[in-house]
Amino acid sequence: MRDGHYRAPSLPRNAPALVLWVDVFNVRQGDRVTLRMVAPDGKEAFINTATVPKNQARRYIFGGIRRKTPAWMTGTWRGEIPLEPRDGPILTTTRTIEIR
């Protein structure tokens, strides 16, 4: 993922999994990072929150869901990644992908 191999603007309905990932820099012990995936119908499909165990210059975090149905719901899927520092404002990045 870090090498940019997964930058397609869309995925097929039969993709085996949907994975959300982030590289965060200069995180501190106690910061919280949440990975949240929202389906086209607005329902939360996946959520995972982790507390950073120690100060780190760089932390790679990923999570996702495997397809359990014959096909994914078509439309725009949204990934949200808020970083909640112990002592600062919440920083959020959002990414979308189209399932066709």
Enter the tokens of residue 68.
Answer: 């359990």
Tell me: the pLDDT tens digits for 7-55? 677 899 999 999 999 999 999 999 999 999 999 999 999 999 999 999 9
Task: Give the Å distances, CA to CA, from 49 to 32, 46, 78, 88.
Answer: 7, 10, 17, 18
> What are the structural domain ranges in the chain?
10-99
pTM: 0.86
Local confidence band at 78 (pLDDT 50, 70, 90 cut-offs): very high
Helix (H) or strand (E) run with residue 99 in it: strand 91-99
Enter the tokens of residue 45.
Answer: 């499909």
Q: Tokens 């719901």 label which residue?
A: 73
Longest dimension (CA), the chain: 44
Q: What percent of the chain has pLDDT over 70?
A: 93
**CATH class held by domain 10-99:** mainly beta
CA distance 71 to 45: 14
